[in-house]
Structure 1
Amino acid sequence: MKPLDWVAFRAAKSFSTSEDSHFPNIKTFLGALYGNLYNFEGKSAKEISQLMKEKALDITGPFLYKQNENDDIDIFFKKPAILKKEKENDNECSDQIYKAYIDKNIKFNIGKKELNGLRYKKMDNLDDLNKNFINLKELEDLKAGNLNIKDIEKNSLTNIPYKIERKIGIELEKGKRRTKKGALYSLNYFRFEDNAGFCFFVEKDDLNLLEKYNTIKLGTKGKLATIEVIEIDTIIFDKVNDVEKILYTLTPSFMESGILPKNSENIQAIANYKSETIGFWNGVENKPGELIKVVPVGSCYYTKGEIDSLTDEYDYYGFGKYIELKR
């Protein structure tokens, strides 16, 4: 999906009247894609809601992408929470990356579930990576168990294909030429480079939405984005044959406990990011829906044996998608 202009997305409202914008979850894009059925085919919001729950369109994302001059596609993923690097000193930049492993000597409980702690091969002088994203090649290297990713720090945030422009404003009272008390808002505009935008991996499209429509209205103000379907080869969705593996989340996961799914018997350890609050729009009743807390993209779950799902609900919105990594 290539935005033709800036795009912005409202964040979930808090108790204050101040709000921000952020990258959206997959439900926003599903709503935009299914919106074509409402606008052009006369489907009702109730019918569209049912199609969503039947997963007539099953996609995984969103991810950022950029098409290079030689037409290669570079896709960016949230940095896995298990990666650390050596701190840089004054004279050189370290390229040594460490991946967390289970330490069975460390135990702690979440509810009634006992989990193991995590350690790194080197525990002192560690730091976070200099960036929030890794690209497809780096993720493939990580999946293959290659930690000597020499260029991982060179692909810095400056290479992410968008710029942020910020706007701050005050809401006016309806029908009056005066400001509404406390109604301060801020909005981040994401302006993408040429041949860059959002992308998804498509598992199923029973309605042929992605072939039938080549544009959607996206985000605040309904800005246009074009749709293009292409094929790429990647190993990231291949299964890991080991009994013990790491599940790296590609989409948000809703868990009633806030950190563990209901079926957590085979989970041994976790490396998760701080939970996020997201909100849905209730299209059937035409009003804001519930606010929920989710485990963010990039969180990692160490498992022994198979696990049914990494989300307790909203799987029909694409929640709980993950890929398997080697320990």
Structure 2
Amino acid sequence: MERYLIAPFDVLIFGDGKPFNAGEQHNREINFFLNPVPFVSAFNKSTNSKVGLNVLSLYNEEKQEFLFPSPFDIGFENDGKVVSSFLKKSDGDFISSEKIEFFVKFNTDKKMKAGGKFINTEGLINYLLGKTPEKNSFYDLFDIITNELTAGIEIDKNKRTTKEKKLYFQPFLRFNENVRFFAEFNKKLKKEFLTIGGEAKAVKVFKSDKAPETFFEEVKERIKEKIQKTKLFKIILLTPTNYPPEINGAKKIAQLTGKIITFSGWYNIYKENKKLGGFPTRLFKLIPEGSVFYYRLEDESMLDEIFNNYWLKPRFYIHELPYFDKNSPIGFGLTIISAVSLEGKDE
């Protein structure tokens, strides 16, 4: 595997995935999430081949730590206090469209919110072991990026002039100078600079000797031991997915998901490294990163296979072209596995 740190030179754009008409709309929204598509597209173009992406995260170069989306079963009170959660058996009054046996309950009666933050390596390790991470393990989104509002106008490519009444405003994202993207690809990149996204923003690419799995490897067996005792585990999304797949040897008993992401893109067609054309994809409804799915282990002999498939692997999705190809993962559905608490107390 080839590992890289990717540093934006200026700002990046992350659209909200919805159709945009500059003549009718004057403000284009953004929705930042760990989207692998711009990175895979840039690497495909640079290498003239179809590149698979295995891991995508953020990385704090100053503190030498990976940053991951905070799981939605971690809450935060108004003063920033971290709130743990546990599974509670559902009763007859609990209504859901899913056949859910349990629901997630937080250890607080105060107002709180979940999601919208990033958790560092040490904090995520504690969480995976069933412990409550420290407050300083988390980053607010504004610690990582700031929005910069920029004016734009649509261009008539045939006349090479601006179009009348096509002025709009577009937020761009500027990353903290210490924050990088981390990406693990299955092919080597020979260039030091790339352009990312439809706006072709320049980024610098650095070879990296860091790998998330090395930080988490020492706790993997401890997590397995806890799962063998409780027969419960949870899968945490580190990048979005389209739908949770069926897992052999396990049954889903609860879930806690964030607001659905509306997403679409542009798919290019190549033949013998020559671009033949392209087309916009349909709209996808994505389950956001940080969402948590709880399972009961029904066949203990399948535990190793479950870890092989979903421990820092981009496989947690159902087959749906072009972005959710079971034969060629591009980074969606990246997950990790955690122990589960039924009592709501740290071990």
> TM-score with structure 2 length normalisation?
0.72
Partners of 1:222 and 1:140 in 2: CA distance: 34
Paired residues, number:
289
State how 1:164-175 maps to structure 2 within 5 Å. 164-171=147-154, 175=159
User: 1:189 aligns to what?
Assistant: 172
* TM-aligned CA deviation for residue 262 of structure 1: 5.3
Q: Deviations over 1:143-168 (max 9, x none)?
A: 12221524346x444532x3321113
Partners of 2:296 and 2:104 in 1: CA distance: 18
User: 1:3 aligns to what?
Assistant: 8
What secondary structure sits across from 2:41 in the alignment? helix
Maintained 8 Å contact 1:65/1:75: yes
Maintained 8 Å contact 1:78/1:297: yes
Maintained 8 Å contact 1:101/1:119: yes
Q: 1:178 to 1:30 in 2, by over 3 A?
A: closer
Q: Deviations over 1:190-226 (max 9, x none)?
A: 22333432113x3x62x323xx333221121332322
Query: Which 5+ residue runs of structure 1 have no aligned equivalent?
Result: 39-47
2:42 to 32, 47, 69: 32
User: 1:125 aligns to what?
Assistant: 110
Q: Deviations over 1:43-91 (max 9, x none)?
A: xxxxx4xx35xxxx33222x222211xxx41322212111124x45xxx
Q: 1:122 to 1:5 in 2, by over 3 A?
A: closer
What secondary structure sits across from 2:122 in the alignment? helix
User: 2:331 aligns to what?
Assistant: 318
* TM-aligned CA deviation for residue 185 of structure 1: 3.6
Aligned-pair RMSD on alpha carbons?
3.1
User: 1:249 aligns to what?
Assistant: 237
Whether 2:220 is the aligned partner of 1:238: answer yes
Q: 1:124 to 1:169 in 2, by over 3 A?
A: same
What secondary structure sits across from 1:169 in the alignment? strand
* TM-aligned CA deviation for residue 266 of structure 1: 1.0
User: 1:141 aligns to what?
Assistant: 126
What secondary structure sits across from 1:188 in the alignment? strand
Whether 2:290 is the aligned partner of 1:291: answer no
Whether 2:200 is the aligned partner of 1:221: answer yes
Maintained 8 Å contact 1:78/1:132: yes
User: 1:45 aligns to what?
Assistant: none
* TM-aligned CA deviation for residue 109 of structure 1: 4.1
User: 1:41 aligns to what?
Assistant: none
Partners of 1:37 and 1:293 in 2: CA distance: 30
Q: 1:14 to 1:287 in 2, by over 3 A?
A: same
Whether 2:143 is the aligned partner of 1:159: answer yes
Maintained 8 Å contact 2:122/2:137: no
Amino acid at match of 1:84: G
* TM-aligned CA deviation for residue 125 of structure 1: 1.3
2:60 to 34, 52, 66: 66
Amino acid at match of 2:255: I
User: 2:293 aligns to what?
Assistant: 301
Q: 1:60 to 1:322 in 2, by over 3 A?
A: same
Partners of 2:116 and 2:284 in 1: CA distance: 27
* TM-aligned CA deviation for residue 37 of structure 1: 2.0
Partners of 2:257 and 2:111 in 1: CA distance: 18
* TM-aligned CA deviation for residue 280 of structure 1: 2.3
Q: Deviations over 1:214-260 (max 9, x none)?
A: 322112133232232222531178363113111100111112xxxx5
2:29 to 8, 20, 43: 20
Partners of 1:278 and 1:132 in 2: CA distance: 21
> TM-score with structure 1 length normalisation?
0.76
2:75 to 81, 84, 96: 84
User: 1:268 aligns to what?
Assistant: 253
Q: 1:138 to 1:320 in 2, by over 3 A?
A: same
User: 1:42 aligns to what?
Assistant: none
Instruction: Using the aligned pairs only, state the percent identity.
Output: 20
State how 1:88-103 maps to structure 2 within 5 Å. 88=78, 93=79, 95-103=81-89
Partners of 1:9 and 1:270 in 2: CA distance: 27
Query: Which 5+ residue runs of structure 2 have no aligned equivalent?
Result: 1-5, 270-276, 298-302, 310-314, 341-347
What secondary structure sits across from 2:204 in the alignment? strand
Maintained 8 Å contact 1:144/1:326: yes
User: 1:44 aligns to what?
Assistant: none
Partners of 1:148 and 1:132 in 2: CA distance: 13
